[in-house]
């Protein structure tokens, strides 16, 4: 099977649920942002210092969750294709919060804004954080534009919370990676 099909040459693509849609719609923008976030997290992994096995394991698991999030976003609400998708367990949000708390306990308290940068892995984690925030905004736009169901009993219910927590995780990860490499955060002098 060829990698290229030519079916998107006129600006349309297929959703996981089968519909052909314009590549410029909110749904495509939303899962495209999640896909970009996943790629940037892959870059973070590639810059991790030696001995970062636990962080790498966390990030690989987060990437897997992001693929599931993208699949949900690429599937029309109520379609039969949703039955094939894995839901995002709220326990995964707790896992991210636990990781945040663990890392936050290992870095100096912060009373100033900081400038992104430092170790290459930390700088990439800051980039990932900003991409995550953008993805979160796009998902929220999609939910409002298409009036998607996001109540507690719906599989999409935890996507926004997961993305929101993930951006916090990426922020503290950047600080943690700098601290691990004995690099001080660059404080903003305002």
Residue 98 has pLDDT above 70, yes or no: yes
Q: What is the pLDDT of residue 18?
A: 79
**Token pair of 162 as six digits:** 């997961």
The residues with which 115 forms a beta bridge, in sequence order, are 186
What average pLDDT does the structure give for the chain? 90
Over residues 28-49, mean pLDDT = 97
Contact assessment for residue 136 and residue 167, using Cβ atoms and an 8 Å cutoff:
yes
The pair phi, psi for residue 114, each rounded to 5°, is -120, 160
Contact assessment for residue 68 and residue 16, using Cβ atoms and an 8 Å cutoff:
no
DSSP state of 154: S
Using pLDDT thresholds of 50, 70 and 90, give the confidence band for residue 17. confident
Residue 147, sorted as left (phi over 0), alpha (psi -120 to 50) or beta, turns out to be: left
Over residues 57-62, mean pLDDT = 98
* pLDDT top residue among 175 and 14: 175
Contact assessment for residue 44 and residue 59, using Cβ atoms and an 8 Å cutoff:
yes
**Token pair of 133 as six digits:** 């925030």
β-strand 20-22 against 114-115: which pairing, if any?
Answer: unpaired
Using pLDDT thresholds of 50, 70 and 90, give the confidence band for residue 156. low
Over residues 125-144, mean pLDDT = 94
Can you point out the beta strands (E) in 77-165? 114-115
Q: Among 3.90.550.10, 3.30.70.1560, 1.20.1200.10, 3.40.640.10, what is the CATH number of 23-75+87-187?
A: 1.20.1200.10
């Amino acid at each position: 099977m060829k990698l290229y099909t030519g079916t998107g040459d006129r600006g349309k693509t297929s959703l996981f649920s089968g519909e052909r849609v314009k590549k410029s719609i909110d749904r495509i923008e939303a899962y495209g942002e999640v896909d970009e976030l996943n790629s940037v997290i892959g870059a973070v992994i590639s810059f991790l210092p030696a001995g970062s096995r636990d962080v790498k394991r966390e990030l690989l698991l987060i990437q897997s969750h992001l693929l599931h999030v993208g699949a949900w976003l690429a599937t029309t609400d109520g379609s039969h294709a949703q039955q094939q998708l894995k839901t995002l367990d709220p326990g995964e949000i707790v896992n991210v919060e636990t990781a945040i708390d663990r890392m936050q306990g290992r870095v100096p308290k912060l009373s100033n804004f900081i400038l992104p940068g430092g170790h290459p892995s930390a700088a990439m984690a800051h980039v990932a954080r900003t991409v995550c925030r953008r993805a979160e905004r796009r998902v929220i736009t999609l939910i409002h534009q298409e009036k998607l169901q996001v109540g507690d009993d719906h599989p999409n219910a935890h996507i926004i919370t997961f993305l929101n927590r993930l951006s916090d995780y990426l922020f503290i990860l950047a600080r943690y990676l700098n601290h691990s490499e004995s690099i001080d955060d660059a404080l903003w002098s305002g």
